[in-house]
Amino acid sequence: MPRLTTDPLSLSGSGELQQQLYLSIRQQLLSGRCPGGALLPSERQLAADLGLSRSTVQQALQQLVAEGYIEPQQGRGYQIVHALPDGFFAASHKPACTSSSLPSQHYGLTAKAPSYSGRLQPGVANVQQFPFRLWQKLLQRHANRPVLCTMADPQGYLPLRQALVHYLRQSRQLICDESTVLITAGAQQALFVAAKLVARGGQQVLMESPGYPRLQQALQLAELDIAYLPAAGPAGIDPTALPLQSKAKALFLTPSHQYPCGGIMPLSQRLALLNWARTEQCWLIEDDYDSEFQYRHRPIASLQGLANGNGVLFTGSFSKTLFPALRLGYLVVPAELAGTAGAIQQALHGDVPLLSQAVLADFMDEGHFNRHLRKMRRFYQQQKQQAVSLLQQHLPHATLLAQDAGLHLSVLLPGLNDDIALSRQCNHHGFNAQPYSRYCFLNEPERGLVIGIADADKDCLMQLINLLNTLKAMSGQAGIR
């Protein structure tokens, strides 16, 4: 068999010499220009021509032997195998430019940006205020418990469900017990499980506009037919305008604090909504994403409690009350759906990790959760009052929505045509303010920004305000009058 020369081989100059030689030989083998059975240049020849030590050459060749590209031949050196282990792959470290010819499904979804941290991100808690030292102490309490390393109850850690039931009964007047609570990996998963519970692919569901984009994504992923209802008014959805004899299987809504417009549905409209849902045989999915942070009055009783637990699924999470990376949420369902909800959760995700559930159960049982909520309610109220005051003072023509609750403000800017471009300019300066149009599904004409207030200290807000005014001065397209 012929012996190859060292002419095609070269070192890239990047990385260890052994790795450079290994990659160069492998590249040649996979190129198809080296016939099976041919002999590689001798170790001595490789070392001399490429300026390497014999030990470096031997290490590279041994790696190629271990991976099945070549095999040693007594007295002859190394022979190329006839069937290379990955010969059907292109010999390139760059991804192929052509797309796969195989069909795939995209569902109309877009991924969030790889870097999703920044100032004024809406809906994100101020983690600097969280009692991490206490959390670490509770974590150490449970870290060496073997039972938390095993399979979990499909509905979640029982002590956490019991603690959550106690909290929800007191704070939101829910009708529930531990058998009707499902612990999920965040509220997004709870919404998806709810969608699969109430409708099959192709059936119609209703959601708010403006509304929560990630809810829309969950419904798209469930392959549901989405119809939108106007919800920008001071009370959110108007029950008198709801469709009659609708084919919708469910209505997803945020009655305690409409997202992102901030409407709070009064009791009279909640009762009217429940009557409509009962008549239409339509499920209500109540997203209670931040009811803990009401600043003018206590939260109005939940739809689920007013309905005695019938016909309403209730979702929530600990992302805003504690911190988003905890990834713990919950879904409260009627007793007859609990088993199905757990089965969907298992098919979708399997078990939710037990350690964080055990820590949270103690955090709630020992009163730390309620103390933290009281502290953060005062803190966020001060943050929001300061944000409203500064924005009203320095952007007097802007309209501010969601002033009375929650962790965000919607700032509508008159004359603005392209809030997506404005948001990108803000992002470039380190602000993760979101374009208001991102939340609009009925082509609402208003444009502006949705900003978080959790980290909105005075300096940060003034930097944003100054940036907006600078952009206004630079171009009339900024649209801030």
- Given a cut of 60, whether residue 97 has pLDDT beyond it is no
CATH architecture group of domain 130-370: 3-Layer(aba) Sandwich (3.40)
Tell me the C-alpha distance between 64 and 27, whole Å: 11
pLDDT tens digits, residue range 14-25? 889 999 999 999
**Burial class of residue 95 in the structure, from the number of CB atoms within 10 Å of its CB (0-12 exposed, 13-18 middle, 19+ buried):** exposed
Q: Which of 85-99, 116-130, 198-212, 307-321 has the lowest mean pLDDT?
A: 85-99
- Given a cut of 60, whether residue 278 has pLDDT beyond it is yes
| 3-state secondary structure labels for all residues of 241-302 | HCCCCCCCCEEEECCCCCCCCCCCCCHHHHHHHHHHHHHHCCEEEEECCCCCCECCCCCCCC
Tell me the C-alpha distance between 315 and 181, whole Å: 10
- Given a cut of 90, whether residue 1 has pLDDT beyond it is no
Torsion of CA 399, 400, 402, 405, to 10 degrees: -150
The pLDDT of residue 116: 58
pLDDT tens digits, residue range 7-54? 888 888 888 999 999 999 988 888 878 888 888 899 999 999 889 999
Q: Tell me the pairing of strands 225-230 and 204-209.
A: parallel
- Given a cut of 70, whether residue 146 has pLDDT beyond it is yes
Residues of the chain with CATH 1.10.10.10: 17-88
- Given a cut of 70, whether residue 420 has pLDDT beyond it is yes
Q: What are phi and psi of 329, to 5 degrees?
A: -135, -175
The pLDDT of residue 478: 42
The pLDDT of residue 408: 96
CATH class in words for 374-478: alpha beta
Is the separation of the CB atoms in 393 and 464 below 8 Å?
no
pLDDT tens digits, residue range 234-270? 999 999 999 999 999 999 999 999 999 999 999 999 9
**Burial class of residue 246 in the structure, from the number of CB atoms within 10 Å of its CB (0-12 exposed, 13-18 middle, 19+ buried):** middle
- pLDDT range class, residue 479, cuts 50, 70, 90: very low
Mean pLDDT across 208-223: 96
pLDDT tens digits, residue range 166-188? 999 999 999 999 999 999 999 99
Q: Which of 266, 293, 398, 284 is nearest to 334 (CA)?
A: 284
Tell me the C-alpha distance between 229 and 225, whole Å: 13
- pLDDT range class, residue 477, cuts 50, 70, 90: very low
Tell me the C-alpha distance between 22 and 80, whole Å: 14
CATH architecture group of domain 17-88: Orthogonal Bundle (1.10)
Mean pLDDT across 418-440: 95
Q: Put the strands of the sheet holding 181-184 in their side by side order.
A: 181-184, 329-332, 312-317, 283-287, 250-253, 204-209, 225-230
Mean pLDDT across 304-329: 96
More confident residue, 93 or 136: 136
Residues of the chain with CATH 3.40.640.10: 130-370
Residues 6 or more apart in contact with residue 33 via CB below 8 angstroms? 8
Residues linked to residue 230 through DSSP beta bridges, in sequence order? 209
pLDDT tens digits, residue range 451-469? 999 999 999 999 999 999 9
pLDDT tens digits, residue range 69-92? 899 988 889 998 887 776 445 445
pLDDT tens digits, residue range 99-121? 556 787 878 777 776 655 679 99
pLDDT tens digits, residue range 351-404? 999 999 999 999 999 999 999 999 999 999 999 999 999 999 999 999 999 999
Residues linked to residue 451 through DSSP beta bridges, in sequence order? 409
The pLDDT of residue 473: 75
Residue with tokens 């501010």: 400
